[in-house]
Amino acid sequence: MVGMCCRYVGDRAVAEDLAHEAFLKAIEKSGSYHRLGSFDGWLMRINLNTTLDYLRRQPTFLSMDDGVETCHGASLHGLIKFGRNGFYGLKDAHGNVVVYPKYTDIQPFDEYRTGWAMVEIFGFKGFVDNSGKEVVAPQYDDIGKFGRYRDGCALVQKGKFYGLIDTTGKEVVPVTHKMSELIDFQQ
* Tens of pLDDT, residue by residue, the chain (187 residues): 888 887 777 778 888 999 999 999 988 888 777 777 788 888 888 888 898 888 777 644 333 333 444 444 444 567 888 888 778 888 887 888 888 888 988 988 888 888 899 999 888 999 998 888 999 999 999 999 888 777 788 999 998 899 999 999 999 989 988 887 766 554 4
Contacts of 147-156 with CB under 8 Å at 24 or more apart are 149/182, 149/186, 150/185, 150/186, 154/112, 154/113, 155/182
Q: What is the pTM of this model?
A: 0.60
Q: Cα(34)–Cα(107) distance, rounded to whole angstroms? A: 32
CA dihedral (88, 129, 107, 123) positive or negative: positive
Complete DSSP assignment for 71-100: EEEEEETTEEEEEETTEEEEE-TTS-EEEE
